[in-house]
A and B are shown apart, each in its own frame.
Chain A
Amino acid sequence: MVTGTHPEEVDLFDYVEGELSADRRTELEFHLASCATCAKQVALVQAGKDALRESQLLHLPPARREAISTSLPTQRRAPDRSPALSPRRLLAILTPVAAVAAVVVVLVSSGVLETNGNDQAGSAAAGATSQLQMEDQAGGAEAAPPVMKVAGPATTVADELRRKGIRARAVGNKVEVRDATRAEVERALENRRTGRVEVVLIP
């Protein structure tokens, strides 16, 4: 492995990690004793490892932990394996679906509606018509012009709005607001300086 030439990088790594067999370790140590280049590499790698392992876990500030709880949507995708439906419940679900499907078929066949060939029914989200889709689309609210641009960070702005009874959540450098008017948002944030956090209304 290593006598005449330098060992492979992965061998040096395994040596530092103590993952070489006894024979290979002896062989590599023999090489290191006479090769300043490899010995220096091993010393540096060991020093880098020591520096990293001395670093400590960083703690998420409690206010930011709280912000996670308040920003979790109340609804989410239904599990894939939903419990079995009773025939009565199944009928209750399928009847309106069938009625809508029948209307669509009539409209398409009569030329009132044109199809574009995109089958969106297969998408994962298609089955879950709910709040969730609104949440997913919230990311697409980028096109919506901001009501205000205020000094951040976004999570602090969202917290302030929530304290004033307005539904809000931070998404990156934006704050999304629901069920509130522009005037209400402006009033709630009137004391904030202008900045880069965009506040957008989600209909």
Chain B
Amino acid sequence: MDDPDGPLVRRAQKGDRWAFEQLVDRHQHRLFTLATRLLGSPDEAADAVQEAFIRAWLGLSSFRHGARFSTWLYRICLNAVHDQRTKRPTAPLEEVAEPVDPRDQFVAHELSGALQQALAALEEDYRGAVVLYDVLGCSYAEIAELTGVAEGTVKSRIFRGRKRLAELLGTRTERE
């Protein structure tokens, strides 16, 4: 398999930290999008992404070429998201306001929208499938590998996830 990350990954596996930083730059926003869409909180998502990259750096020697590096990274990120979710306190966190960055405002705007609310209301399996497929552009095979189900199940989850999402968004069809 021709993985565009292959050359950088090989260098990083030999301990080249610069090469790994390039991989972080290349994938940071996609991982952040994945984590944020799944967790609904940019702070928690950023923590999960940080943890995912640390785990990836530490476990880089276990990555086998033949798989796509991005798929391997998504798997680690999904685990970090899962761990982040299990650590959630029952009461809301006391948070200190961080400096406002226009990009943070954009994220906040995106998360306050109807789409995120609808995503948050989806079953977890459906949410993961539609985010990976429609937002991040993963293939059926990649999602099947990431989620441990057959490709037919992946399609079914995307189908039902989209349908439910449209219902939650109040979409009206022509025949109604």
How close is A199's CB to chain B, nearest CB, in angstroms? 14
Interface residue from A77, A154, A196 paired with B47 (Cβ < 8 Å)? A154
Per-residue A-contact encoding for B82-126, CB less than 8 Å = 1, 0 else: 011001010001111011010110110010000100100000000
A124 adjacent to chain B (CB < 8 Å): yes
Interface residue from A72, A136, A155 paired with B20 (Cβ < 8 Å)? A72
B161 adjacent to chain A (CB < 8 Å): yes
Interface centre among A57, A124, A136, A154 (most CB of B within 10 A): A57
Cβ-closest chain A residue relative to B152: A10
Interface size for chain A: under 10, 10 to 19, 20 to 34, or 35 or more residues? 35 or more
Interface size for chain B: under 10, 10 to 19, 20 to 34, or 35 or more residues? 35 or more
How close is A191's CB to chain B, nearest CB, in angstroms? 11
Is the CB–CB distance between A132 and B173 below 8 Å?
no
Q: Main secondary structure on chain A at its contact with chain B?
A: helix
A81 to B152, CA, bound (A): 38
Interface centre among A52, A72, A155, A192 (most CB of B within 10 A): A52
B130 adjacent to chain A (CB < 8 Å): yes
How close is A113's CB to chain B, nearest CB, in angstroms? 31
Cβ-closest chain B residue relative to A49: B162
A121 adjacent to chain B (CB < 8 Å): no
A39 to B175, CA, bound (A): 8
Closest 6 CB pairs of A and B: A48-B162, A52-B134, A43-B173, A48-B166, A60-B32, A47-B166
